[in-house]
Amino acid sequence: MSPAILAGMALTVFLTSLLSGVFGMAGGLILLWVLLFLMPVATAIAVHGVIQMVANGSRAWFSRHYIDYRILAILCLGLLIAAALLTVVNYTPNLVVVSIVLGLMPVLVWLPVQRLQLDASRPSHALACGFVAGALAMGVGVSGPTIDIFFIRTMMDRRKVIATKAAMQLVSHATKVVFYWQAAAALPASDWLAILLAAPIAILGTRTGNIVLQRMTDLSFRSWTRWIVTGVGGVYLLQGLHQLM
């Protein structure tokens, strides 16, 4: 990578990690969008997974006392089932499909979740959440909004939601790195060095976002999450439709 691209990537990693530290998902959407401009789809998803493993892992660590491990275990079981199915069908990602699916994903945050009766604290719902989120994480690279609609009805406060989601996303990102390992292994050593240098920046951004999160109210947290994710999704959708045409 050239020094200019390296500097731009470092800034992007910091800002997207900060957003993820506050809202739990918006940063991941933006980071993947940038990576898709720089490398092939499968490679971008794998690199996104490596960086987000650090960002989500640090976020889970900073909020580790709030993680609900019972819910996390069931979420991970659903994710592993999705991974097994995608492996069996030998799934390969496509840029147009990825862009359009990610563009439509923010619709989920506007669904009348009160009527859907989804609740991640219920084992069957947590299993479904893990399966759908895992399939999307490996299929298109991001699954945050999907996880959100299962957590919005729980009695958990925003810190517990962010912590449990971060732990779940750490596992899902690790799984997609393994799934796309061949694509990731093809990257030159200089690119991997840049990715490793981005790791502490991701932790710094996450830590800063965690401080902001502690000062927000539950109401403002949910409101800002919807609008930010919708804006990013709109960009993805326009990009996907443009490529399709």
Question: What is the DSSP code string of 58-124?
Answer: HHHHHTGGG--HHHHHHHHHHHHHHHHHHHHTT----HHHHHHHHHHGGGGGGS-HHHHT--TTSHH
CA 8 distance to own-chain centroid: 20
Q: Which residues neighbour 193 within 8 Å (Cβ) at sequence distance 6 or greater?
A: none
Report pLDDT for 218.
65
The predicted model scores a pTM of 0.75
Q: How many domains does the chain have?
A: 1
Structural domain that includes position 115:
3-244
Q: Is the dihedral of CA 178, 78, 158, 111 positive or negative?
A: positive
Please enumerate, as own/partner, the contacts of 51-54 that have beta carbons within 8 Å and a separation of 24 or more: 51/13, 51/195, 51/198, 51/199, 51/202, 52/20, 52/28, 52/169, 52/173, 52/202, 53/170, 53/173, 53/174, 53/177, 54/198, 54/199, 54/202, 54/203
In a structure prediction context, what are the per-residue pLDDT tens digits for the chain, which is 245 residues long? Answer: 566 666 777 777 787 777 666 665 567 777 787 788 888 888 889 888 888 887 778 878 888 888 989 999 999 999 999 999 999 999 988 888 888 877 777 666 666 656 667 778 888 999 999 999 999 999 988 886 677 778 766 777 778 888 888 899 899 989 999 999 888 788 777 777 777 777 778 777 777 877 776 777 766 666 666 666 666 666 666 766 776 77
Q: Which residues of 82-108 are buried (b: 16+ CB within 10 A; e: fewer)?
A: bbeebeeeeeebeeeebbbbbbebbeb
Report pLDDT for 85.
95
Q: Which residues of 167-185 are buried (b: 16+ CB within 10 A; e: fewer)?
A: bbbbbbbbbbbebbeebbe
